[in-house]
Amino acid sequence: MSRIVIRGGLVVTAAEEVHADVLVEGGRVAALASHDSDPARGWTASADRVIDATGKYVIPGGVDVHTHMELPFGGTHASDTFETGTRAAAWGGTTTIVDFAVQSVGESLRAGLDGWHAKADAQCAIDYGFHMILSDVNEDTLKEMDILVEEGVTSFKLFMAYPGVFYSDDGRILRAMQRGADNGGLIMMHAENGIAIDVLVEQALAAGRTDPRYHGEVRHALLEAEATHRAIRLAQVAGSPLYVVHVSAQQAVEQIALARDEGLNVFGETCPQYLFLSTDNLAEPDFEGAKYVCSTPLRPKDHQAALWKALRTNDLQVVSTDHCPFCFVGQKELGRGDFSKIPNGLPGVENRMDLLHQAVVDGHISRRRWIEIACATPARMFGLYPRKGTIAPGADADIVIYDPGAEQVVSAATHHMNVDYSAYEGKRITGRVETVLSRGEPVIDGREYVGRAGHGQYTPRGTCQYLV
């Protein structure tokens, strides 16, 4: 059994910060001990490898619970495969993703899930699990939900947006929520009023407003807030918990905060793009704004303060990426002259841990909160904790050695995602991943990729661990 000792670093988890050495045995964390204590000295003497983490943070690998590798969307596919996307995730200090398997209309959940397994099998550099997108709620698929929960696909995304594609009406949503209330599945909601948005899209295009910036205008903040409110009340009626994905509007955050104050099991995530980018980016000239088209859309800058505050007060609990990359050339360009044809999505799986570390440097969140929202809480929310999301005896040795003082400039020229632009091009960041272990095996070693496709294992999940 291989023994690795990570020596001399500051171990940061959601719960504490301790100067400790970490012993890894057989792919798991075996023990922590103070630097230069007798046990730690003994480990070093007998280790197969000692990693010097002096002056570095030793943190759990990131858990990104919202990715869309190879997602078919808008007549094209997200440009990262499971191979390229999980490799890029590892470069950015993420060691687990939970991707969205898609049920298409008319198809069984099983067929959709099998399709996603086929895409990911033997391709991934890091561990992965699946949520299921429900596009067709009916008697059969409701029954299938029970089976999937038993198998470890314990969360289901529904859409109040995208009529004709992923959209479910309120009745279908209520039925799925009732089923989730019974079988323990967590309902994840894309909360935007898609029916109203489609009217505004049609009107904008008819008036000649075709530029990317109108994507943000028609997907009005109030239509996110209204859908968020409706989803909360439907979940309340069904007696089910609710997790609202990619929250971007201040008014939607207010709805979630209100529900939580009422004691409801309502949770929310936001994404780095809503914290660091804004409608200013959507308005960039020469169609450059298309690079920032995603849904929910970027909001005016003044929404950012509400998101940061909610992350501090725990009204939002998770930051995931909604990684859904489309190249500018050939993919985003499908929407030249018609913003509604721009494939929705931003790349970011590689950037999340660094951007959130920058938020620590900038004083938005504490170091432990960084780990909480990026590692521990997503793992708990989606039934992966304590195997993932922390550094504690028995946990998988998914560990990142993070250099908090290194300076980097984000760029498409140096990133590893399979996409021809960066949403954060030129952004200076303090902090950088140095070494990444996945179940004790190096994937990134001193800024060199040493991983392999197929190391990453499919990871069935338990149910949400926050339910009271």
- Smallest distance, ligand DUC to C-beta of residue 324, A: 4
Number of CB atoms found within 10 A of residue 310's CB: 22
339 binds, among ligand DUC, Zn ion, none (CB under 5 to 8 A by kind): none
Interface residues with ligand DUC (CB under 6 A) are 68, 73, 190, 294-295, 322, 324, 344-345
In the complex with ligand DUC, the residue whose CB is nearer, 321 or 438, is: 321
Closest to ligand DUC by CB, 73 or 385:
73
Smallest gap from Cβ 164 to ligand DUC, in A, equals 14
Total residues in contact with Zn ion, by rule CB under 5 A: 2
Residue recorded with tokens 């980018």? 277
Min dist CB 275 to ligand DUC, Å, is 15
H or E stretch including 351? none
Do residues 231 and 174 touch, judged by C-beta distance below 8 A? no
Say if residues 354 and 430 touch (Cβ distance below 8 Å): no
Q: Which is nearer to ligand DUC, 70 or 83 (CB)?
A: 70
Token pair, residue 416, equals: 């590893």
State which residue, 13 or 344, has the beta carbon closest to ligand DUC.
Answer: 344
CA distance 399 to 7: 13
In terms of CB distance, is 190 or 415 closer to Zn ion? 190
Instruction: Point out which span in 12-20, 21-29, 185-193, 401-409 binds Zn ion (CB under 5 A).
Output: 185-193
Q: Which does 345 bind (CB under 5 to 8 A by kind): ligand DUC, Zn ion, none?
A: ligand DUC
Amino acid present at 197: I
Nearest approach in angstroms of CB 449 to ligand DUC is 27
**Nearest Cα to 311, choosing from 276, 340, 337, 342?**
276
Sequence-distant (≥ 6) Cβ neighbours of residue 115 within 8 angstroms: 101, 102
With CB under 5 A as the contact rule, the residue among 131, 175, 190, 260 that binds Zn ion is 190
The helix (run of H) or strand (run of E) holding residue 357 is helix 352-361
Is residue 348 within 8 A of residue 272, CB to CB? The reply is yes
User: Using the rule CB under 5 A, which residue among 192, 322, 396, 434 binds Zn ion?
Assistant: 322
Of residues 133 and 444, the one with the C-beta less far from Zn ion: 133
Integer Cα distance of 33 and 23 in angstroms: 8
Binding site for Zn ion (CB under 5 A): 190, 322
